[in-house]
Amino acid sequence: MYFSQLAVYIEKIETTSSRLEITRLLAEIFRRLNIKEIGKTVYLLQGRVVPLFEKTEFGMAEKMVVKATLLALNLERKSFETRNKQIGDLGKTVEEFKSQFPSLEKKDFSILEVYNALLRLATASGEGSQDLKINILADLIRRIDSLSSRYLIRIPLGVMRLGFSDMTVLDSLSWMLKQDKSLRPIIEKAYHVRPDLGFIAQITKQKGVKGLKTIVPEIYTPILMMRAERLSSGKEIIEKIGRCAVQSKYDGFRLQIHYRKSKISTRGKLTSGRKNQNEENVKLFSRSLEDVTYMYPDIVEAVKKEVKATEAIFEGEAIGFNPQTGEFLPFQETVQRKRKYNIAEKTKEIPLKLFAFELLYLNGINYLQTIYAKRREMLRKVIKISGDSAKNTILVAEEEVVPNEKKIELLFNDAISKGLEGIIAKKLDGIYQPGARGWNWIKFKRSYASKINDTIDCLVLGYDLGRGKRTSFGMGAFLVGVYDEKEDKFVTVAKIGTGLTDEEWKKLKVQSSKFKVQKQPSQYSVDKGMECDVWLMPKIVVEIKADEITRSPVHTAGRRLRPTKTRSALEVDIPGFALRFPRLQKFRDDKRSDDVTTLIEVEKMYAKQGS
């Protein structure tokens, strides 16, 4: 397919906010693409050239993109910049100037040619790479048509944002095959094992449902992490899963470790052709599937020394400890290790221990379908403990297999008295369900005085400018929401204006400044009365504690319009869910927007608090 044809579709997607329409449009594109094009086009639609978990960045600021345009079209800087200020959208400005050169309106430039050029642009590094990037982009701008140029430059600028999530793409792949979304569960299951949207699209096109069913983990592609259900007594746990393994719930951060004894190659990847770009043989991924290898050199070294395997994927919770006393540190201190700078210094100051608790893959064998007890047995063999275990960085999380509720309660109390968050009970014959919150793991946390025991992970949608004291932070209140899976929308549950420390307001401000957008993203469903002064991309996740979930007409979570008997043509509101006395617990930098609490979970919590 030509890039110009894709651009016409992108324009249609950009102008609709109907999820169904976007799904249909994407399906139509996918149907028209061939096997070689589909995966790469999916990346381009996400404004990328590699899957989300791969680090490649374009490294092109607006200034460089302007330079490339001036070079491509031989324009005068001043008039270009004046016009760009008036339009306020660099993509549209480039399009306008480009359309003034009809002789350059070439529409026969293929998607693959554009993709390959952008990949070269993204991977250029070292001396002279800035000039090379500008030249590659200038060459592209010169050769494509005006509408294409609008979208092309949004890719290196990082502002492609078409307002649909990975889930909508999965629905579209189902539509591509069957004209409805009935295949979404099968496609999504495969995506949870290999959350590389381009790869999944290619397999769906090439091998259909059969191919999707045979997808297995791949070293260096993170597996979506399994999550725990919640219960609040030993009795409920035993009733649910019977005799089970109980471990402490460590309050650190989760890591998924990928290890291969040989060096990394890009074999089998869509983006193959690139040389070994990374000489490490360990990769660490966070809950949000971010590659955080560079942040934890101590864990990387420990994996090389303490893991006995040719290839392994395993998970654990990393937690800071005091080397003098051997005591574990509270989350607020451990979290200081999550940083981009001064890594060596902090590594010394706050060393980590990794409590391994899951084995997912070992020496070519996929363990996802293997029962927990067996996975655990293999995990114990993989972690090498020689002599004094206190000297190891990686330890296998201790556990006790318990037959009754009393024992669970005892272990729970013991964990709480040690300052831990609670316990996690694991079903002995449970499999590992990537990406799912299921009953194979059950968390039992300290119950609080409030009616809801658990916290809610919310997405920050936007904020209002500050008045009064908080003018100095430039922020008065921020709007948060949860995820409505059915509609693929973020729906609101609270606007929070109090209870943050100065430090927290500052952090929120700094984070927000990176993700501002001009208008309300189409994925946000917000009542008129709750609209924000500043809108943010779906990036910042915060953990919120509240006293109660109530009903409120001003929030859109679970708010429904239903027909009434008396006035069948008209509709009447069922109010939404709102959080009472919401307060910030912590920033969840380790979570992605699709990791936030779902509307269904809020509904369950609402139902439960009455009982």
Binding of ligand ATP by 424 (CB under 6 A)? yes
Q: Which of 205, 249, 426, 495 is an active site residue?
A: 249
What is the per-residue DSSP string for 183-224? THHHHHHHHHHS--HHHHHHHHHHHHHHHHHT----TTSPPP
Considering beta carbons, is residue 153 or 546 the nearer one to ligand ATP? 546
**What mask, x for binding ligand ATP by CB under 6 A, covers residues 380 to 409?**
-----------------x------------
What is the per-residue DSSP string for 325-365? T-PBPPHHHHGGG--SSSHHHHHHHS-EEEEEEEEEEETTE
380 labelled ligand-binding: no
User: Binding segment for ligand ATP among 197-205, 248-256, 403-411, 504-512 (CB under 6 A)?
Assistant: 248-256
Q: Please give the torsion angle defined by the CA atoms of residues 363, 351, 512 and 508, in that order, rounded to the nearest 10 degrees.
A: 140
Q: Which of 37, 317, 488, 594 binds ligand ATP (CB under 6 A)?
A: 317
357 labelled ligand-binding: yes
Q: Which of 247, 433, 552, 593 binds ligand ATP (CB under 6 A)?
A: 247
User: Binding segment for ligand ATP among 56-64, 245-253, 487-495, 555-563 (CB under 6 A)?
Assistant: 245-253
CB of 54 to ligand ATP, least distance (A): 22
Binding of ligand ATP by 190 (CB under 6 A)? no
Residues 606, 549: Cα–Cα separation, whole Å:
6
Closest by Cα among 354, 353, 381 to 367: 381
**Type of residue numbered 236:** E
Considering beta carbons, is residue 72 or 226 the nearer one to ligand ATP? 226
Binding of ligand ATP by 240 (CB under 6 A)? no
Phi, psi of 265 (to 5 degrees): -125, 165
Q: Is 249 a catalytic site residue? A: yes
**What mask, x for binding ligand ATP by CB under 6 A, covers residues 355 to 384?**
--x---------------------------
Q: What is the size of the binding site for ligand ATP (CB under 6 A)?
A: 13
Residues 290, 595: Cα–Cα separation, whole Å:
13
Residues 75, 160: Cα–Cα separation, whole Å:
24
What is the per-residue DSSP string for 262-275? S----TT-TTBTB-
Residues 43, 115: Cα–Cα separation, whole Å:
9
Binding of ligand ATP by 32 (CB under 6 A)? no
CB of 197 to ligand ATP, least distance (A): 23
Binding to ligand ATP (CB under 6 A) within 199-228 occurs at 227-228
Binding of ligand ATP by 249 (CB under 6 A)? yes
Q: With beta carbons less than 8 A apart as the criterion, state whether 223 and 366 touch.
A: no
CB of 512 to ligand ATP, least distance (A): 22
592 labelled ligand-binding: no
Q: 525 in helix, strand or coil?
A: strand
Residues 136, 605: Cα–Cα separation, whole Å:
53
Closest by Cα among 393, 391, 281 to 337: 393
Considering beta carbons, is residue 143 or 230 the nearer one to ligand ATP? 230
Q: Please give the torsion angle defined by the CA atoms of residues 340, 343, 345 and 348, in that order, rounded to the nearest 10 degrees.
A: 140
Query: Which residues have a Cβ under 8 Å from the Cβ of 502 and sit 6 or more positions away?
Result: 473
437 labelled ligand-binding: yes
CB of 332 to ligand ATP, least distance (A): 14
Binding to ligand ATP (CB under 6 A) within 433-472 occurs at 443, 455, 457
580 labelled ligand-binding: no
Instruction: Tell me which H or E stretch contains 402.
Output: strand 399-402
Binding of ligand ATP by 250 (CB under 6 A)? yes
Binding of ligand ATP by 328 (CB under 6 A)? no
What is the per-residue DSSP string for 281-292? SEEEE-TT--B-
User: Binding segment for ligand ATP among 246-254, 288-296, 501-509, 545-553 (CB under 6 A)?
Assistant: 246-254
Residue ranges in contact with ligand ATP by CB under 6 A: 227-228, 247, 249-250, 254, 317, 357, 397, 424, 443, 455, 457
Indicate the annotated binding residues for ATP: 254, 287, 317, 357, 437, 443
Indicate the annotated binding residues: 254, 287, 317, 357, 437, 443
What residues are annotated to the active site?
Answer: 249
